[in-house]
């Protein structure tokens, strides 16, 4: 007669923590909702403007870019509807950098819950990503109003580009939040690395310059392909294809404003970003066993 642990009335022994990863997060959507609400309350505690900061901070950032880069340096003369060009890119860049910063700190910031609650620890970077996505909503409202005022005439490609760009940004941000939140527990100097990435991203996407400027400098070389291997750059171009290009009007020749086969590139990039999420999940799973001890 077998006396192994598999014959125990309560079943075989299992790890005490939840090891179901992102699937466990999906099964605990109510808990995820509570974590998102908690983070929103903490972020705006004793705040005068509350959610209004989701409008104020992007507006201030936009004005700085427009006045310094556009007016003082004169770049607005080279890019039609320069203000809209900046804003469509700024939404994507802000989403990535805010998720990168908040996601990296998410596990350490919730270390008391990590010690006490038997939940998938991926819940914390996922919640940070959801909070940033929540703040992206008001920015899209402002963008849509501006586009309508400027005579936005979207085609089916524009709608496809918008959805594809958002999907790339969500998956990319989730991947970096998962990976860096786990790495930040093991290596506390990851924060300095994150600041460097945030600074580099701002200049590695067509935000304060247009795509035709990139083509003039590195077009046709391997550097162009390296540039387009950046998921934030591809998501930015897709967002500009969705909102900036249809707002220019028929009198503007948009030839060369976008790379060739942009939707195809975006589809391939989305597949790569999904693979990055899987890799980030593996990194997180391999490091989370030591979270309680390291925290």
- pLDDT for the residue 208: 84
Q: What is the average pLDDT across 85-101?
A: 90
Q: What is the pLDDT of residues 211-238, one digit of tens each?
A: 988 998 888 889 999 999 999 999 999 9
Q: At 267, list the tokens.
A: 């589809």
pLDDT of residue 13: 47
pLDDT mean over 76-93:
85
Q: What is the pLDDT of residue 53?
A: 66
CA dihedral 134, 136, 138, 141 (to 10 degrees): -130
Burial per residue of 72-104, b for 16 or more beta-carbon CB atoms within 10 angstroms, e otherwise: eeebbeebbbbbbbbbbbbbbbbbbbbbbbbbb
- CA–CA separation, 206 vs 186, rounded Å? 34
Identify the pLDDT of residue 17: 52
pTM of the complete model: 0.84
Mean pLDDT of the chain: 82
> Tens of pLDDT along 123-182?
889 988 998 888 888 888 888 888 888 888 999 999 999 999 999 999 999 999 999 988
Distance, CA of 214 to CA of 232 (rounded, Å): 15
Give 294 or 79, the one with higher predicted confidence. 79
pLDDT of 94 > 50? The answer is: yes
Among 111-115, 141-145, 229-233, 249-253, the range of highest mean pLDDT: 229-233
Q: Identify the pLDDT of residue 138.
A: 81
C-alpha distances in angstroms, 168 versus 25, 36, 57, 295? 20, 21, 23, 32
Of 101 and 114, the one with more pLDDT: 101
What mean pLDDT comes out for the span 77-88?
A: 84
The pLDDT score that the predictor gives to residue 262 is 93
Q: Give me the pLDDT at residue 233, please.
A: 95
Q: What's the rounded Cα separation, in Å, for the pair 258 and 240?
A: 9
User: Does 120 or 15 have the greater pLDDT score?
Assistant: 120
The token pair that represents 114 in the structure block? 């990590």
């Amino acid at each position: 007669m077998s006396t192994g642990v598999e014959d125990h009335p309560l079943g075989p022994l299992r790890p005490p923590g939840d090891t179901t990863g992102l699937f466990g997060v999906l099964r605990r959507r109510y808990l995820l909702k509570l974590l998102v609400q908690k983070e929103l309350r903490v972020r705006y505690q004793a705040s005068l403007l509350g959610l209004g900061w989701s409008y104020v901070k992007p507006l201030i950032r936009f004005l700085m870019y427009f006045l310094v880069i556009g007016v003082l340096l004169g770049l607005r003369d080279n890019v039609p509807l320069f203000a809209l060009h900046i804003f469509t890119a700024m939404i994507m860049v802000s989403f990535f950098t805010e998720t990168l910063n908040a996601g990296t700190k998410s596990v350490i910031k919730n270390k008391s819950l990590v010690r006490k609650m038997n939940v998938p620890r991926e819940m914390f970077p996922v919640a940070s990503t959801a909070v940033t996505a929540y703040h992206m909503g008001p920015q899209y409202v402002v963008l849509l109003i501006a586009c309508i005022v400027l005579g936005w005439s979207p085609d089916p490609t524009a709608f496809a580009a918008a959805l594809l760009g958002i999907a790339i940004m969500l998956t990319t941000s989730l991947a970096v939040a998962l990976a860096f939140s786990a790495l930040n527990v093991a290596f506390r100097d990851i924060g300095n690395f994150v600041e460097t990435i945030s600074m580099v991203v701002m200049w590695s996407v067509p935000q304060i310059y247009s795509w035709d400027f990139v083509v003039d400098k590195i077009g046709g070389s391997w550097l162009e392909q390296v540039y387009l291997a950046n998921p934030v750059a591809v998501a930015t171009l897709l967002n500009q294809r969705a909102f900036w290009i249809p707002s220019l009007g028929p009198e503007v020749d948009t030839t060369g404003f976008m790379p060739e086969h942009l939707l195809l590139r975006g589809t391939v990039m989305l597949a790569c970003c999904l693979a990055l999420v899987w890799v980030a999940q593996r990194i997180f799973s391999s490091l989370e066993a030591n979270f309680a001890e390291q925290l």
